Structure 1
Amino acid sequence: MYKTLGLLSLLLLSGCAHTPPTAADKTLSSGNGLPHLSSINHLAQQMVNELVRQNDNLTPTSLTLVATPVMLSDLTATNTLGLQYQQGLIAALHDHQFNVVDMNVAETIQVTAEGDFILTRDWQQLPANIDVDHVVVTTMSPDKAGVVLYSRIVDLNNNHVVSVAQSFVPVTALSGLLTESEKVVSENGLLYRHASKGQHAVKMVGSD
Structure 2
Amino acid sequence: MYKTLIPLIALLAGCSSTAPIGDAQAPQQMTSLFGIAEQLTNDLVRHSDDFNDAQMLLIATPVDAASLDKTNPLAVQLQQDLMTSFQQRGYRVTDINVSDSVKAAADGTFILTRDWQKIAANVSVTHVLVSTMTLSRDGVAINARIIDTTDNHVSSAANTFATAQQLPGYLAESNASVSKNGLLYRHERSGIETEHYVGGEQ
Alignment TM-score, normalising by the size of structure 2:
0.81
Q: CA deviation at 1:41?
A: 1.4
1:78 alignment counterpart: 71
Give the paired residue count: 174
Helix, strand or coil at the partner of 2:114? coil
Residues 181, 200 of structure 1: 8 Å contact kept = yes
Larger Rg: 1 or 2?
2
| Deviating 4+ runs (over 6 angstroms) | none
Residues 20, 172 of structure 1: 8 Å contact kept = no
Q: Deviations over 1:95-140 (max 9, x none)?
A: 1111111000000000111111100111111123521101001111
Amino acid corresponding to residue 130 of structure 1 in structure 2: V
Moved more, 71-80 or 125-134: 125-134
Give the unaligned 5+ runs of structure 1. 1-18, 23-38
Amino acid corresponding to residue 109 of structure 1 in structure 2: V
Provide the rounded CA distance (Å) in 2 between the counterparts of 1:206 and 1:46.
26
- 1:201 and 2:194 equivalent? yes
Higher relative contact order (CA 8 A, sep 6+): 1
Q: Deviations over 1:167-201 (max 9, x none)?
A: 11011000111111011212343433322110111
Query: Which of these residues, 123, 134, 145, is aligned with residue 116 of structure 2?
Result: 123
Give the unaligned 5+ runs of structure 2. 1-27
Helix, strand or coil at the partner of 2:165? helix
Alignment TM-score, normalising by the size of structure 1:
0.79
Query: Which of these residues, 60, 68, 76, is aligned with residue 67 of structure 1?
Result: 60
Provide the rounded CA distance (Å) in 2 between the counterparts of 1:187 and 1:56.
43
Helix, strand or coil at the partner of 1:50? helix
Amino acid corresponding to residue 117 of structure 2 in structure 1: Q
Helix, strand or coil at the partner of 1:83? helix
Pick closer, same or farther for the CA change 1:171–1:160 going to 2, 3 Å: same
Query: Which of these residues, 159, 164, 169, is aligned with residue 157 of structure 2?
Result: 164
Amino acid corresponding to residue 177 of structure 2 in structure 1: V
CA RMSD for the aligned pairs?
1.6
Provide the rounded CA distance (Å) in 2 between the counterparts of 1:152 and 1:135.
8
